[in-house]
Amino acid sequence: MTGVKVAIVGGGPVGLAAALFASRAGMHPVILEARDHDGDKACGEGLMPGVMPLLKNLGLDPPGRDLLGVSYRQGTTQVDHLFPGAPGRGVRRTALVEAMRAETDRLGVDRIQARVTGVTQDAAGVRVHCADSDDVAADYVLACDGLHSTIARQLGLVARPSRRARRYGLRQHFQRAPWSSMIEVYYAGNAELYITPVADDTVGVAVLGPKGTSLEQTIAGVPEVRARLHGAVPASTLRGAGPFPHRVRRAQVGRVLLVGDAAGYVDAITGEGLRVGFAQADEAIIALRDGDPSSYPRRWRAVTREFRLLTRGLVVLASSPLRRSIVPLASRVPRVFGVVVDRLAR
């Protein structure tokens, strides 16, 4: 395939958002997605309030359950924060990806099933190499290929793993009517347990922790959640993700821009990812529309700065002996806790 303005590698939520932004900017993007699947992935599935206007602008209204705030819990201590404006939404990944794919189809975006093995570029364009299918020649490439980005690795952009302990995520759904309109976050032992309502009869359960963390054992260690989920039938298979953090040295090399998790991911502890991924996609397309890909690293830093700083800070705290003080401290200064949640949820 030749004559493509922008080839998007990876048809996850960020790649799909990039395609929608590109399409609206008149760029006729092509998405190359390795897997023929329903888009499911280990994720807490909480769309923060800041994501909702962005989705609306893209013509998207995926089904789910309103999220009114966040409730942090540890033992008998609890601190709740209600989002000040419109709610967020708990949305199954499959429902989000389905809605996004439908919109790309409506706009006539080409989606090709192809596993990309790497890219080569010169002053005139980029060649995207695919396993078992023809190469694609494009003016620009957006690498939206996730945490284990083939393109970031091939371009030698992946930074050495930090010496900090690496963390992993797991998630599974259970058939149970949601008992709350908040995202519940339980600090349990050395793992965090997230409960997100995603449908009238389904809750998503995600856990974050060091290697070897078990979803079943983490649930068993939190009496409140154990009781709520007692006898509940699993509504999805157990999925895992990680390790994090994933760091890259820079988010752009020539005509290739890294976007979303591919450009670096700190941790899921703040229940973020999609909002910053969509913001990066928006900035990447603006940079290409302006014919100035080299402006992207600056734009990337600006839209990810708060997420990186706050998430890193919280992970450091959660991995330190002060871990046990996080929720009690937040409950003593609920306003500060609220400000941090709101900064991340914007």
Ligand X SMILES: Cc1cc2nc3c(=O)[nH]c(=O)nc-3n(C[C@H](O)[C@H](O)[C@H](O)COP(=O)(O)OP(=O)(O)OC[C@H]3O[C@@H](n4cnc5c(N)ncnc54)[C@H](O)[C@@H]3O)c2cc1C
| Residues in touch with ligand X (CB under 6 A) | 9-15, 32-35, 41-46, 115-116, 144-147, 150, 169, 171, 206, 208, 241, 260-261, 268, 271-275, 277
- What values do phi and psi take at 275, rounded to 5? -60, -50
Which residues touch 238 (CB under 8 Å, ≥6 apart)? Answer: 170, 171, 172, 215
Per-residue b/e over 33-42, b at no fewer than 16 CB within 10 Å?
bbeeeebebb
Give the type of residue at 241. Answer: A
Spell out where 54-200 has E strands.
65-67, 69-74, 77-82, 88-90, 110-113, 115-122, 125-131, 136-143, 167-175, 182-188, 191-199
Nearer to ligand X, 142 or 327 (CB): 142
Residue 177 near residue 161, CB atoms below 8 Å: no
User: In this complex, which beta carbon is closest to ligand X, that of residue 11 or of residue 293?
Assistant: 11
> Phi/psi of residue 318, each to 5°?
-70, -20
Total residue count of the chain as it appears in this document: 346
CB of 254 to ligand X, least distance (A): 19
Q: At what angle do helices 13-24 and 93-106 cross, to 10 degrees?
A: 20
Nearer to ligand X, 247 or 328 (CB): 247
Name the minimum Å distance from CB 172 to ligand X: 11
Task: Using the minimum distance from each CB to ligand X, give the nearer residue, 37 or 332.
Answer: 37
Q: How many helices (H) and strands (E) does the chain have?
A: 10, 19
| Nearer CB in complex with ligand X: 234/325 | 234
Cβ proximity to ligand X: between 132 and 335 the closer is 132
**In this complex, which beta carbon is closest to ligand X, that of residue 62 or of residue 169?**
169
- Taking the complex as a whole, how short is the minimal distance between the CB of residue 278 and ligand X, in angstroms? 9
Closest CB 6 distance from ligand X, rounded Å: 15
The least distance separating ligand X from the CB of residue 76, rounded to whole angstroms, comes to: 25
Which letter does DSSP use for residue 322 in this model?
A: G
- Rounded to the nearest whole angstrom, what is the least distance from the CB of residue 194 to ligand X in the complex? 7
Distance CA 97, CA 83 (A): 25
Cβ 139 to ligand X shortest distance, Å: 19
